[in-house]
Structure 1
């Protein structure tokens, strides 16, 4: 009986940590926009104002895609949406440094990357793990998950700053 309880607790802990990493990473990526805008403009030759436009589109797309991802999650499942979010974020992160025009930056960062972060929103991550946790644990975990957003930003900001100083934005 003791072994089952420990495995159950370890499983719950693993799920909560994975959810926090996922949500924290998505929020952290959105939190580093301010750090990457200047080096990105220098690399791409895009003006600061035009890059700012793409970053603004990214903020709008992040918010606009969340209900769309939620609707897809209701039809196809949360796991598919979270997987799509991770893949879109990865694609956006890889492609963004390759942008050399406002349209490509808006596509890569403003649409692809931002759609990925929209898929990793609080509601979708929490909605995925809540049935596993049960109502009592879910309310406590929601606070921990929400805090991981700030932790993700606090960790990714200095990491990105250091990487940018060491090897550049690419």
Structure 2
């Protein structure tokens, strides 16, 4: 029953990884343009430069793991990765796209637009894949996720209220490792 959803998950992840790699290649070409070297563009290009390679690398690794391991992809970690990556891709690519409104219109404008457009599409596909993971995640995965949360929430609550005993125990456990 879950085969079509795993196939859809894999195809979405593959398309996302391909789009991110293409956007990354175009981004590398952007870095040597006189617009970027002349600091006409600042934070929009550099934010995209810092965010996109990490997400693209993780997407490629996830696609490779999906080829080797059929159980990877429809799990809470993949769902969280896709949500976070989708929002980061959308945010950084849209920032670059919006900054292009005032572009001088030289021969590199097309590369700027294409790189950010591929980033926006990849971000949307990440969010779509996260929704697929959310809807079709195996029930056993939700059971493990929900049962593990109360301990984490209790620990985090004790840390946030700065319980000295919990802080000391956490520090001592870290020293022993």
**TM-score, normalisation: structure 2:** 0.33
Larger radius of gyration: 2
Tell me: higher relative CO, structure 1 or 2? Use CA pairs within 8 A at least 6 residues apart.
Answer: 1
| Structure with the larger helix share | 1
